Structure 1
Amino acid sequence: MSFPDPYDEDAPPPALGTVVDEGRGSLPYALIHGESLVACASWALGDAGVTLVDYSTTWAGIRDGQEPYVLHDALCPMTPATFLSACVARAVDTGSVVVGCSIGPAGRVVTSPIVLPASVVAALSELPTYDFELLVQQLSERFPLEYAESPAVGRRVVSVPDLAALEAESTP
């Protein structure tokens, strides 16, 4: 695991984040490259310079941190740390909620991450849901929102065959 140098001007802005597995069944605990999807997603957040918080952290505690908050879906386990940190930087620069997405034949699909700038975190009394599609819809009604197209390996898996395809595509 690597940590950003706090004196490095190229270091990502500080942020808090959570890997979301709630409401996703058992798939987040399936293996890709010998590791659980949750572990891979957690390592990516750490490598992006995001400080991980767990579900026991209250929303008041997250607000008190006065930092952006990153929601990373465990079902997008191979999302590159560089993409995650770029989304954090974009949210900080613009003050907009930044939403990772993929573009396919069915149109735009929310993937990961969802980055809430500190001003949005401060304005929310709580996080309304961990359902990414619903959360984006609710946030878009109150806050400026930007989409960022994620790399192909950042896509969401919804089944074991999807997971096998992602593993084959992301083999080093």
Structure 2
Amino acid sequence: MEDLGPVAWGVVVERDRGSLPFALLHGEPLVACAAWAMGEAGIQLLDLTTPWETVRHGGMPLVWHDALCPMAPPDFLAACVRRSVIAGVVVAGVLPVTDTVKEVEESPDGPVVGTTHDRDGLRRLATPLVLPAALVSQLEDWPSADLRVALADLRARHEVELMTAPTAARRVHDAVDVAALEALTGR
């Protein structure tokens, strides 16, 4: 089979995440696990020292993959890129919210627990965030390394489609989460 080259350019975002991206999962740093998944998905890795003008005029979609979601499967990353290319939309990997979400309301006696929100309509951002090539060409600089901020900025100017990620794509926040993800994704 002929190698047609990369399907997209991508960055594994580990900036502003402390040392957690370098914690070990299955004996490898989280950031390495995320990078390998990108490569297996046909996404050519770049780093943030790549001149933005090169990316902007490269004619490729851009994949933002969070190092704190290291086990997002390559087939899911590739599916998000395909959807972005086919539909010309920003694609964000999300997971359903499983926690109870309550609203805190102010009362004369101080804050009180109020309304319970319906979880069915709520999602939490996972990974990846895929920007179609046409949108990349319009941006003046790299998107924010904070995927939530990047998504909010992109939603203001472009259609966004949410794709439900597999459980393995969940975000880790600490060593306990890393251990749980390791158990979930045992070899």
Q: How does 1:80-99 map to 2 (within 5 A)?
A: 80-99=73-92
Structure 1 residue 128: Cα displacement: 3.7
Q: Which amino acid aligns with 1:33?
A: H
2:71 to 41, 58, 78: 78
| 1:90-149 CA distance string (max 9 Å, x none) | 000000000001112253111100000000100111124111111111100100100011
Aligned residue in 2 for 1:20 = 13
1:49 to 34, 42, 47: 42
Q: Tell me how many residue pairs correspond in the alignment.
A: 165
Aligned residue in 2 for 1:155 = 170
Aligned residue in 1 for 2:105 = none
| 1:47-73 CA distance string (max 9 Å, x none) | 000010112101111112110000100
Inter-partner Cα distance in structure 2 for 1:70 and 1:141 = 19
What is the SS of the residue equivalent to 2:129?
A: strand
Does 2:149 align with 1:168? no
Q: Which aligned segments of 4 or more residues in structure 1 are displaced greater than 4 angstroms?
A: none
After TM superposition, the score normalised by the length of structure 2 is: 0.85
Q: Structure 1 residues 58 and 166 mapped into 2: Cα distance closer, same or farther (>3 Å)? A: same
Inter-partner Cα distance in structure 2 for 1:66 and 1:60 = 11
2:52 to 51, 59, 72: 59
Unaligned runs of 5+ in 2: 100-121
Structure 1 residue 5: Cα displacement: 4.0
Inter-partner Cα distance in structure 1 for 2:128 and 2:2 = 23
Tell me whether 106-115 or 145-154 shows the greater mean CA deviation.
106-115
Q: Which amino acid aligns with 2:48?
A: Y
Structure having the higher strand fraction is 2
2:146 to 128, 131, 134: 131
After TM superposition, the score normalised by the length of structure 1 is: 0.92
Inter-partner Cα distance in structure 2 for 1:43 and 1:73 = 13
RMSD: 1.5
Identity %: 45
